[in-house]
Structures are given as C-alpha cells and as structure tokens.
C-alpha cells in the first residue's frame, strides 16, 4: 500500500487559492489518487479522484505529474466553510486490497477571515 505524506496543517485567507500537495513515492501502476474532506463532527466526504494529468470538478482540481509520485489538490477561492481536514489516499487498483480506503493524518486547513 503506497504511503502518503502531506502537511499536517495549513492556513489561508478567504478568497485565496489553496494548494495541498501529497507525496506518494511508491505508487503502483494500477493505483488511483483520491482526496476526501472532513468537517468537524462529520464523516469524510469524497472530493475528487484521478490517475494522471489534471482532473477538475465543481469543488476542486487535482494535478498529477507524469511520474505520479505526488499530487496537488487545488481549492479555488476558499471560504470559511472550507475549513476542514483534507485526506490524500492512494487506492490500490488491483489485488486483495483493491480500492481499500486507508486514511493518513490528513492536512488541517484553517481559513482565516
């Protein structure tokens, strides 16, 4: 299972773009990268998933370089309601652990007025 490393915490002002980078040096060919968001007192919520290059949805963008050893979650123009913990996960695409969701410590994003 590919290990992920991401910053423990980040601060940002409202209206700014926030980029959270995750390292996953031993990602395997069949693995996918996915990000979840967790608000206090709630369960995690899926944000975005990708395999390579760039993926964009209504919430965020995910940038994955060609070597796939890292990925960057980009949140455009954050607001106070984006204050949450953001988790980067690498999902095994095959084998017994296929798509098993294993969470790390995540990045605690605090948005400041």
Partner 1 sequence: DAGVIQSPRHEVTEMGQEVTLRCKPISGHDYLFWYRQTMMRGLELLIYFNNNVPIDDSGMPEDRFSAKMPNASFSTLKIQPSEPRDSAVYFCASRTQQGTYTEAFFGQGTRLTVV
Query: 7 or 93, CB closer to partner 1?
Result: 93
Convert 22-34 into a string of H (helix), E (strand) and C (coil).
EECCCCCCCCEEE
19: CB partners within 8 A, 6+ apart: 72, 73, 74, 75
Interface with partner 1 includes 37 (CB under 8 A)?
no
Least distance to partner 1, CB of residue 72, Å: 20
For 23-33, b/e burial (b = at least 16 CB within 10 A) is ebeebeeebbb
Q: Least distance (Å) from partner 1 to the CB of residue 10?
A: 17
Of positions 54, 65, 105, 110, contacts partner 1 by CB under 8 A: 105
The residues of the shown chain that bind partner 1, judged by CB under 8 A, are 32, 34, 38, 41-46, 49, 51, 87, 91, 93, 96-97, 99-106
């Amino acid at each position: 299972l590919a290990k992920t490393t991401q910053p423990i915490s980040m601060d940002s002002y409202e209206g700014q773009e926030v980029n959270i980078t995750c390292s996953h040096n031993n990602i395997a060919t069949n693995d996918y990268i996915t990000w979840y968001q967790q608000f206090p007192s709630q369960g995690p919520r899926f944000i975005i998933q990708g395999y390579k290059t760039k993926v964009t949805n209504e919430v965020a963008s995910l940038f994955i370089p060609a070597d796939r050893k890292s990925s960057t979650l980009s949140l455009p123009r954050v607001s106070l309601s984006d204050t949450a913990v953001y988790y980067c996960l690498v999902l095994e695409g095959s084998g017994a652990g296929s798509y098993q969701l294993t969470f790390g410590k995540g990045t605690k994003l605090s948005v400041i007025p």
